[in-house]
């Protein structure tokens, strides 16, 4: 469960960075930067759902 909490924190940080870039708080806004951060965020979200699914399957086998 610790991995999921750390992953959620990392996702939150990436999302905040992307939000700040898009809303003009970052003066160096470029398509490449937004795309890179969007891809990183997508990768972390996919990893989060993979871990949650793994945990769900583990608990469903116990019942």
User: Where are the chain's structural domains?
Assistant: 2-62
Give residue 26's pLDDT: 57
Task: Name residue, tokens 């909490």.
Answer: 5
22 pLDDT above the threshold of 80? no
The pLDDT mean for the chain works out to: 80
53-56 own/partner pairs: CB under 8 Å, 24+ apart: 55/1, 55/4
- The model's pTM: 0.65
Q: For the stretch 26-44, what's the b/e string if a residue is b when 16 or more beta carbons lie within 10 angstroms of its beta carbon?
A: eeeeeeeeeeebeeebeeb
Give residue 38's pLDDT: 84
The structure tokens listed for 19 are 């939000």
């Amino acid at each position: 469960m610790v991995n999921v909490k750390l992953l959620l924190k990392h996702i939150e940080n990436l999302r905040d960075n992307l939000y700040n870039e898009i809303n003009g708080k970052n003066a160096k806004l470029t398509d490449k930067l937004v795309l890179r951060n969007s891809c990183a965020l997508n990768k972390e979200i996919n990893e989060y759902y993979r871990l949650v699914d793994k945990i769900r399957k583990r608990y469903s086998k116990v019942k």
